[in-house]
Structure 1
Amino acid sequence: MAMRRHIGNAVHESLPTPLYHQIYLILRGQISDGKLAAGAQVPGEEELARQFNVSRITARRALAELAAEGLVTRGRGRGTHVTHRNEPPPVRGAVEGLIENLMAMGLKTQVELIDFGYEAAAPDVSAALQVEAGAEVQRAVRVRSLEAGPFSYLTTFVPAEIGRKFGRKELAREPLLALLERSGVVIGAADQTISATLADTHVAPLLKTAVGTPLLRISRVVHDGNGHPVEYIIGLYRPDRYQFRMSLDRVRGGERNTWSASVAPTTGGSKSSPRSTNREKK
């Protein structure tokens, strides 16, 4: 298998992602990390072709993608330079105080309702909401944005008997958790899983990013005070605009030591125990 190398990075012919897009992702990461700061000159077509052992056409397409996204400007005889962008810092979501943080985020960001309706629950939805397969559920798709642009693509499912208490107009204006509580649901807790995925041809344009860009994937089941599921949500997040934070306490045991998730200190310095019992051995 042929491998084309660059200092600290590599592109692979065996991957399904085109070589030009692999180079684009590497350069985009260097810009996001500040390794290529605002105003810095980006290597030109000839230099990129030599570094990655690709054709100039391939290098040109990588630079064209950066320019199309507004990350760089190109000028004949002047080269390619990183565009100066004064974006606000990314949203930081904490595991601690999860429900309160989600409510606050919903009030501080803008939302666009992409899709809304009722459908039969697919197997994964029925399992998450603990309803019969094929039971009617409300499904909504929303995109949340900051001043810098969209950062999350959210698909939510709610049992129909709860979803009928609010509609499209309310979802386009208010956070879903607030609507649930207004409908008489007492929110108790939530379980969530964090993984990763790639932006597909549907999600990428809505998040204003390139197809194949890595995204955070967060699936969450929200329970009422009696432990019954009332919401199932799958969220896809741009990691350059959304970060997840967790505080850990060192727990010392007789045979081994572990890390345990904990609530970050408040202004009063107090802590409360999280619902999660996940521990990482170290």
Structure 2
Amino acid sequence: MERRAVSLDRFDAGAIRPAEPARTPLYHQIYLVLRQRIVDGEFAEGDILPGEFELAEVYGVSRITAKRALDELAKDGLVRRERGRGTMVSHRREDGPMQAQFEGQLEDLLAMGLETSVDLLEFAYMPASAEVASALDCAPGDEVQMSVRVRSVRGEPFSHLTTYVPGDIGRKFGEKDLAQRPLLALLEKSGVHVDAAEQTITATLADTGTARRLDTTVGAPLIKVVRIVQDIDGRPVEYITALYRPDRYQYHMNLTRQAEGKAKVWSPSRTGYRLT
């Protein structure tokens, strides 16, 4: 394997902010910057990273801080540190990322369920909270089915899914079914004609439980997707909060300019996802 020594540009230091009580520690900031460049493939398997002294100089931190950042990368299995040889990237980016594009339809969600594996972590029937009742257009206390799942691609977790389904629909399939088949497929098998969805995409940080389940660090950035799925009569049939690791999941769309009155606006023509 060809090895090359990678270099850091001076502007890299601009990504590091002075450590204040409310901000992420300096070593973790450096860790996140290097980790992203490794995951993105900019630093490839076999590359030699700069040493502690060079990192300290570039980022304007102490050698101990730089060392801790490299130690964190090694702890995550992204690099291998060897005395006298330096720090070598050991992470291999998989070729051929899974991707799909479905012109704004819900079939992409079903396809994702079919090409990934799932672990069902929680399953129960319970009274709807005020939040869930509002999303599913039912009364607080009405029975709903709740599940928590983690989806993985090539054995690596990328999404944490918390889902609520109205009780009369959820009683038509059970825990074993949900562990084996995508929820959308189960809804359709139960006689639900899925027609539309309302979706909001924001960002959040991983808490202790989510970080453990997604094999990431507490405070790591996550993509947060909240979606309410409706049937052909407009009834909400699913309320889901999905948290995605941005290094393993990307949401993308193609845009076209369309006339709207006298102005032209960008309008999504095709949407889809990418699993890296």
- TM tier, smaller: 0.7 to 0.9
Selected match of 1:160 from 138, 148, 167: 167
Aligned residues: 260
- Partners of 1:42 and 1:74 in 2: CA distance: 10
Matched, 1:259 2:266: yes
Give unmatched runs, 5+ long, in structure 1: 265-282
- 2:212 is matched with 205
**Deviation for aligned residue 1:56:** 2.3
1:11 aligns with 2:17: yes
Shift of residue 41, structure 1, vs aligned partner: 1.5
Shift of 1:95: 6.7
The answer on whether the counterparts of 2:202 and 2:224 sit within 8 Å (CA) in structure 1 is yes
Q: Give the SS at the match of 1:12.
A: coil
Per-residue Cα deviation, 1:56-81 (whole angstroms, up to 9, x for no partner): 22222211111111111100011001
Shift of the alpha carbon at 1:137? 1.1
Map 1:11-50 onto structure 2 (within 5 A).
Answer: 11-14=17-20, 15-50=22-57
Tell me how large the CA RMSD over aligned residues is.
1.9
Post-superposition offset of 1:47? 1.8
Q: Secondary structure at the match of 1:172?
A: helix
1:54-73 paired onto structure 2 within 5 Å: 54-73=61-80
CA distance in 2, matches of 1:180, 1:235: 18
What is the alpha-carbon distance in structure 2 between the residues aligned to residue 102 and residue 45 of structure 1?
Answer: 44
Are residue 77 (structure 1) and residue 77 (structure 2) matched? no
**Structure 1 residue 240: deviation in Å?**
1.6
Determine which of 151, 165, 183 is the counterpart of 2:158: 151
* Deviation sequence 1:25-75 (CA, Å, 0-9, x none): 011112123332222211222222222222222222211111111111100
Q: Is this contact kept in 2: 1:136–1:160, CA < 8 A?
A: yes
Give the one of 102, 107, 111 matched to 1:104.
111
Give the letter aligned to residue 220 of structure 2: T
- The question of 1:132 aligning with 2:113 is answered no
The answer (yes or no) to whether the contact 2:31–2:72 under 8 Å persists in 1 is yes
The residue identity in structure 2 corresponding to 1:180 is L
Q: Does 1:171 align with 2:178?
A: yes
1:174-212 alpha-carbon deviations (Å, 9 max, x no partner): 001111111111111111111111111111121111222
- CA separation in 2, counterparts of 1:216 and 1:93? 18
Q: Which residue of structure 1 aligns with residue 7 of structure 2?
A: none
Name the aligned partner's letter for residue 17 of structure 2.
V
Which residue is 2:8 aligned to?
none
1:239-266 Cα deviation digits (max 9, x unpaired): 12111121211113443210111247xx
Whole-angstrom distance in 2 between the partners of 1:141 and 1:98 = 24
Equivalent residue for 1:181, pick from 188, 201, 215:
188
What amino acid is aligned across from residue 59 of structure 1 in structure 2? A
* Partner Cα separation in structure 2 for residue 20 and residue 159 of structure 1: 46
1:121 Cα deviation after fit: 1.9
Query: Secondary structure, in 3 states, of the residue corresponding to 1:38?
Result: coil
